[in-house]
Amino acid sequence: MRLLQKERGEKEKMNEKILLDEEEIPKAWYNIQADLPSPLDPPINPATMEPLKPEDLAPIFPMELIKQEMSTERWIPIPDAVRDVYRLWRPSPLYRALRLEKKLKTPARIYYKWEGVSPPGSHKPNTAIAQAYYNMKEGIERIATETGAGQWGSALAFGTMLFGLKCTVYMVGASYDRKPYRKVMMEMWNAELYRSPSKNTEFGRKLLEEDPDTPGSLGIAISEGVEDAATHDDTHYALGSVLNHVLLHQSVIGLEAKKAFEQIDEYPDVIYGCVGGGSNFFGSCSPFVADKIRGDKPDLKVVGCEPMACPTLTKGLYLYDFGDCAEMTPLLKMFTLGHTFVPPPIHAGGLRYHGDAPLLCKLVKDGWIDAVAYHQNEVFKAAKLFAETEGIIIAPETAHGVNAVINEALRCKEEGKEEVIFFNNSGHGHFDMGSYDVFLRGKLVDYEYPAELVKQSLAKVPKV
């Protein structure tokens, strides 16, 4: 371990950047299912209304990922080929936000894991590399997927390129229109890209006939990716969030963070992160939540941060629902706004999913994790302050967690309370300049919770 230190004041030295050696990249992913106080409600096959079986998923996923999806083993070994690619950017650094602390005049100590160092610029390759590898091992030639803000599509294009697979991406229309350089990034890594809903699938054509101007949604794009995979023998589907195996792969973030905190003899009092489907947040906090479940850290506070325009954890209902709009996926027990809900085209495009990861939702429901929702303008103000102090222009999605961190740090200031605050800085905002331009010109709209639309959508949720 190399520890860079910066002197601040006469009496102490502050740790500004903590770097692990490559040998400390985790050799196994952590599976929190082994430590849950009660088991996760199983996904349901909508055709039989029975718990999902491995063979039900075989047409669209490689068997190794299906095993991981259903595993309750605590540790899942990371293949050497995957760790070799991880070395391109892992271990990611843990920073102390000294300049932000100084600006806020807070006694709190703020730390963040910086996942923007990956080639695609976010946490998403942690699972994209693994999924591409397992599909390659099974002889699959092409992977179809969806992407919201473009981070997942970029990551999977990167991963499939490295393992010699083709990649087809259905990008949510609102993000496709606003983020042209995310499209270029995917195409640089040889991906085939469609604006979703598209004319490339039966479901997409149906939606375009009903509403040619629809901005799309993640649920719609998922439907197109699943349909594409299900109708081509050489193609599998890959999901960038929500499913158990995706959250499993993202645990490398939290495992590295724990090692870094141990090196400086610190431990978080509170953990924040942005939530769309839940993968980056859950990956960064699950090894710490395990300590809370075991009773080692009972006072640990863990909070997921989402947009007010799509507040699944804070205003959704906890029940079984489809993961997509076309009702092609299994039924998942989660907080949902209804699978037909199409949220407003907010600028944090990666947080526009109608549900959340079942593992995350269970821990929220059982009281181990909390949730909060914010409006766009306060989130973008937090991102601006973070850029002014720490120098990093973060993704609008990530800024939801930063807003919570700033609020917590100011509370510590008011109460004169020292806390260790940790958040996952899930990716950069280099392709989000259009969104930041709208904010800087004072034209950013705060969308209210669309209660009537959600009510209509929830009326279509299946009865289980």
Give yes or no for a cis peptide into 180 (omega within 30° of 0).
no
pLDDT score for 345: 79
Sorted by sequence, the CB contacts under 8 Å of residue 454 that are 6+ apart come out as: 315, 337, 338, 341
pLDDT score for 4: 40
Burial of 133 (0-12, 13-18, 19+ CB in 10 A): buried
The length of the chain, given as a count of residues: 464
pLDDT score for 15: 56
Sorted by sequence, the CB contacts under 8 Å of residue 184 that are 6+ apart come out as: none
The alpha-helical segments, DSSP class H, found in 76-149 are 80-86, 98-104, 125-137
Helix or strand holding residue 194 (H, E): strand 192-196
pLDDT category at 9 given cuts 50, 70, 90 is very low
**CATH topology (fold) of 123-243:** Rossmann fold (3.40.50)
Sorted by sequence, the CB contacts under 8 Å of residue 111 that are 6+ apart come out as: 94, 95, 96, 97, 261, 266, 268, 420, 421, 422, 423
pLDDT score for 94: 98
**245-260 per-position pLDDT tens digit:** 999 999 999 999 999 9
pLDDT category at 111 given cuts 50, 70, 90 is very high
pLDDT of residue 56 exceeding 80, the answer is yes
How do the domains of the chain map onto residue ranges? 7-27+79-121+245-458, 123-243
**424-444 per-position pLDDT tens digit:** 999 999 999 999 999 999 999
Average model confidence (pLDDT) across the chain? 93
Assess contact for 421 and 267: CB atoms under 8 A: no
pLDDT category at 452 given cuts 50, 70, 90 is confident
- The token pair at 278 is 């839940």
- Number of other CB atoms surrounding residue 80 within 10 Å: 8
Task: Select from 3.40.50.1100, 3.40.50.300, 3.40.50.10800, 3.90.1150.10 the CATH code of 7-27+79-121+245-458.
Answer: 3.40.50.1100
Using DSSP, state whether 435 is helix, strand or coil: helix
- 3-state SS string over 326-338? CCCCCEEEEEECC
**385-427 per-position pLDDT tens digit:** 999 999 999 999 999 999 999 999 999 999 999 999 999 999 9
pLDDT score for 6: 41
Which residues face 2 on adjacent strands?
19
> What is the pLDDT averaged over residues 369-390?
97
pLDDT of residue 175 exceeding 90, the answer is no
pLDDT category at 28 given cuts 50, 70, 90 is very high
pLDDT-wise least confident of 5-14, 120-129, 229-238, 251-260: 5-14
pLDDT score for 357: 96
pLDDT score for 370: 98
The radius of gyration of the chain from alpha carbons, rounded to an integer in Å, stands at: 21
> What is the pLDDT averaged over residues 231-243?
94
Q: What is the pTM for the complete model shown?
A: 0.93
